[in-house]
A and B are shown apart, each in its own frame.
Chain A
Amino acid sequence: MAEISIRKVAKHFGNFTALHSVDLTIADQEFLVLLGASGCGKTTLLRIVAGLETPSQGEVWIGGRRVDHLPPRDRGIAMVFQNYAVFPHLTVYENIAFGLRMKKLPQDEVDRRVRRTAELIHIEQLLKRYSGQLSGGQRQRVAVARALAMQPDVILMDEPLSNLDALLRLEMRAELKGVLAASKTTTVYVTHDQVEAMSLADRIAVMHQGRIVQAASPVEVYRNPAARFVGSFIGNPPMNFIPAKKAGDGRWSVAGMTLDGPRASRSEIEFAIRPEDVEVAPDGVPITVRVVEPLGAHTLITSDVEGHLFRAVLDSTTTVRTGDRLTLAPKPDRIRWFDPDTTAAL
C-alpha cells in the first residue's frame, strides 16, 4: 500500500518560486501523470517526491510515512530518468542487479529477479552488453527494468519517452502501460506530451507555472477544463475562446448569438468551445474560412471571430474552400464558460 500525499509543498530557487504550495494525493496503484509545458515545475515536484530535492515548505508522505527528511534510498521509490542514467561501466545485467545488490539480496534471488524483469521488458538477449552498445530505445528499457526489479512502492518517471523517436515512443507507451498496470505499482509520470498523458493516465494533474490547476481523469480534463489554461493547453487543436457580453439574467451574447449561460454577476465572461464541437448550421457564428487543412479523417478550418482565432474540425466530406462564408453552431452541451480574471471555469 503506497499512497503518496503531497501537502502544501513549495519550492523556491533564490527569488524564483518553482512550486507554489502544491497539494496532491495519489492513490495506491494509481497511474498519475503530471502534465504541463516545459518549465512549469514538473521535474522539481517529482524530484521532491524522490528526495533528490528538498522542499522549501510542506510535507511529503509515502505509504503513511512522512518522508521529506529521508534520503532517496529510504523512501521505497525507484526512478526512471529522462536521460536513462544507465551506468556505462556495468553490463545490462549488473545495471538491473545494482539496486538488488545494494539491498543485499541473496545471489539466486538477484538472478531470478534480473532475469524475470529482463524478460518482461524484452531485453533478455541484451544482458551481457554495456550501455554503449545499446540503442536509445534499449537503454530506455534497461532504465525501466532497473526500476521495476526493485519492486518499489512507487515508480517515478521523468519524461521517459521524450528522447525516443515517434514510432518507438508509441510502441513503448503501450508496453509501459501494460507492464505498470500488471505490477500494481503507484506511478507518477511526468510528461509535456498531452497525447502520452491521455493514453497512460488514470488521472492527469495539469500543472501551470508551479501550480496544479486541475487533477482529474483524462476525459474530465478534456471535457470540463477547470481553468482556461487547461482548455488552451489540452486538445489539438486547443479550445476556442470568444468574449461574451451579458444580455440578461443568465443570457450571454457571443459573436451575434444569444446563449444560455451561467448566472454570473460580471458583465463580461468568456465563451469556450472545442473545435470538434461545432457544426455547419443555418444559425450560429458567421465566419470566413481563412485556411483549410484536410487531415484525412477530418478537415481543419481556421478563421477568426471578432479578432479571436477560431478553429473548427469538420467532417472531411464537407467541401469548403478558402474564402467561403459559413455559419458554425456550437453544440449546446459542449459549451464551457470561464471567468476572464480568475480564469476558472464558471
Chain B
Amino acid sequence: MTAILADAPAAARWDSRRRAGRFLMFAAIVLLCAWVLLPIYLLIVNALSSPNEVTGFPKRMLPSFDTGSISFFINFAGVAKALWNSILVAALTMVLSIGIGAPAGYALSRFDFPGKEAFRFLVLMTRAFPLPLLALPLAVMFIRTGLDDTPVGLAIVHTTLALPFAVLITFSLFSGIPFELEEAAWTLGCTRLQAFWKVVMPLALPGIAASAVFAFTISWNEVFAAAVLTIENRTLTAFLLQSLNVSPLYLKFAGGAALVVPALIFIFAVRKYLFAMWGIANR
C-alpha cells in the first residue's frame, strides 16, 4: 500500500511526459500530412476551377467543379499523343521489369548462391546512380543503336529505374510463400516449373500485379530521361515540361493534376505491397 502511494508522484511525472510526447508526435504527423496533402489539394482545386478563377484573387478554398481548364488541357495540341506515349512506355516498362524482376526475386527467395547478399545490395545500389550522370552516354548510345526517341528505348531506361523495386517486392512476396508448398506439389507429381505455375503463381499474383502497377507508376512519373531521350515521341511528363512554361497557369494546374491523380490512385491501390517491400529492404 505505502509503496504504491510513494510511487504516485513518479507515475504522474511519467504520465505528463508521455502526454507531452504524444502531443509532439501528433503535431509532427499533422505537419507531415499538410506537407504532402496541401499541394495536392491546391492542385486539384485549381484544376477543377474555371480559367478565370485560377488567375483571379482571392482564391476559393473549394473547387467550383468547372471543367473549363481540364477540357482546354485535353484539347491542347499534342496532349493526346503524349498521353498515349506515356501509357505505352509505362506498359512496356511494367512488362519488362516484371519479366526480369520476378525471376530474380524468386531466385533470391529460394536459392542460396555465393554472393547472394552482395547481389541484393547491388540491386539497391543501382538506385544510387544519378540519372543525369548516365543521360549523356545513354543518349549517345541510343542514337548509335537507333533507340533514341522510341518508346522502347525510353522503356528500357525506365525499366532500369523500376527493376530494383520489382526485384525487392517479388523477393518479399516469394519469401512469404512457404517452400513446403512447392515441395508438396513436387511429391504430388509436379515438375519444378509446374509447381511454380500451379502453386506459387496463384498465391503471388496479387502482389505481382501490385509490383507491376508500381513499375507503371515509376515510368509514368519519370521526367528527366523522358525529356532527354525523346523529341517527337514525348511522354506526358516531358511534354508538359517542355510546353507548360510557355502556357497559361490554369493549363499547368490541369496538366499537373492529370499526372498526379492517376499515380496517386495506383500507389494507393498497391500500398500494402510497398510496405512489405520496405520491411524487407530495411532489414
Contacts and interface: CB of A to CB of B under 8 A. Distances in A.
Given A81-B180, A98-B185, A89 B190 contact: no
B194 A87 contact: no
A288 interface: no
Interface in B166-210: 178, 180-181, 183-191, 194, 198-199, 202-203
Contacts of A51: 186-187
Given A85-B180, A87-B199, A102-B194, A79 B187 contact: yes
Interface stretch (A70-78, A232-240, A306-314, A323-331): A70-78
Given A88-B203, A102-B194, A83 B180 contact: yes
B174 to A, nearest CB: 15
Interface string A242-278: 0000000000000000000000000000000000000
B230 to A, nearest CB: 42
A183 to B, nearest CB: 17
Contacts of A98: 185, 188, 198
Given A52-B183, A73-B191, A102-B190, A85 B178 contact: yes
A78 B203 contact: no
A73 B183 contact: no
Interface in A66-124: 71-73, 77-79, 81, 83, 85, 87-89, 98-99, 102-103
A103 B178 CA distance: 24
A40 interface: no
A72 B180 contact: no
A185 to B, nearest CB: 14
Contacts of A99: 188-189
Interface in B138-192: 178, 180-181, 183-191
B188 A146 contact: yes
> Which secondary structure characterizes the binding site on chain B?
helix
Contacts, number: 54
A132 to B, nearest CB: 12
Contacts of A150: 188
A144 B198 CA distance: 20
Nearest to A85: B184
Contacts of A79: 183-184, 187
B186 A73 contact: yes
A81 B191 contact: no
A87 B181 contact: yes
Contacts of B184: 79, 81, 85, 87
Contacts of A102: 188-190, 194
A85 B187 CA distance: 11
B186 A103 contact: no
Most buried by B among A51, A71, A85, A103: A85
Contacts of A87: 181, 184-185, 199
Given A89-B202, A89-B203, A73 B190 contact: yes
A50 interface: yes
A217 to B, nearest CB: 29
A146 B181 CA distance: 13
Interface in B17-74: none
A79 to B, nearest CB: 5
Contact of B188 (A52, A78, A88): A78
Contacts of A72: 183, 186-187
A87 B186 CA distance: 13
A152 to B, nearest CB: 9
Nearest to B202: A89
Most buried by B among A51, A72, A78: A72
A9 B178 CA distance: 28
Contacts of B183: 52, 72, 79, 81, 85
A83 B190 contact: no
A299 B279 CA distance: 55
A167 to B, nearest CB: 26
A22 to B, nearest CB: 21
A112 B184 CA distance: 22
Interface of B: 178, 180-181, 183-191, 194, 198-199, 202-203
Which 8 A-B pairs give the minimum distances between C-beta atoms?
Answer: A102-B189, A99-B188, A85-B184, A85-B180, A72-B186, A89-B202, A79-B187, A72-B187
Given A73-B186, A85-B181, A98-B198, 19 more contacts: A52-B183, A71-B191, A72-B183, A73-B187, A73-B188, A73-B190, A73-B191, A77-B187, A81-B183, A81-B184, A85-B184, A89-B199, A89-B202, A89-B203, A98-B188, A102-B189, A102-B190, A102-B194, A146-B188
10 contacts: A52-B187, A71-B191, A73-B191, A81-B184, A85-B178, A88-B181, A88-B203, A89-B199, A102-B190, A103-B189
